[in-house]
Amino acid sequence: MTLTPALLLQSHDAVGGLIGAVFAGGFFLVMCLLMVVVIVGWWKMFVKAGQPGWAAIIPIYNIYVLLKIAGRPGWWLLLFCIPFVNFIILIIVAIDVAKAFGQGVAFALILLVLLGGIGYIVLGFGNYQYQKPATA
């Protein structure tokens, strides 16, 4: 068998496809682990706030419960459906949740927004007490 340019290109494509699949699989695993971290954090935080922990695993309803913990009205759930507005609402809700647990804006922006929800683990498993938010 002689090495022709077509054969070399075929083998290169196969190796490239394999490398791409490995990276995609790794990315998928990291995203799944991040989802588990957020769900566990929400579950513990929901329970601390007097809400059902199982609500953390129900899509859309978990955002509604998060809004209740933050002291925001339920119709704000509709704002999460509007592109760009949803990011602003996410920041506002994160700040309100942090304040409901006695934390400040820096805690909300760094741990709840920028670090992918690690702050929810901190709130759920830490020694933070839920206080009814002023906006409720």
In a domain, 119, yes or no: yes
Mean pLDDT of 82-97: 94
**Amino acid 52: pLDDT:** 95
Domain encompassing residue 115: 8-125
Q: How many domains does the chain have?
A: 1
How much is the pTM? 0.78
In a domain, 18, yes or no: yes
Could you report the per-residue pLDDT of 15-73, keeping only the tens digit for each? 667 787 888 888 999 999 888 988 999 999 999 999 999 999 999 999 999 999 999 99
Let me know if 74 is exposed, middle or buried by CB neighbors in 10 A (0-12, 13-18, 19+): exposed
Could you report the per-residue pLDDT of 99-113, keeping only the tens digit for each? 999 999 999 999 888
**Amino acid 1: pLDDT:** 56
Q: How many other CB atoms are there within 10 angstroms of residue 108's CB atom?
A: 22
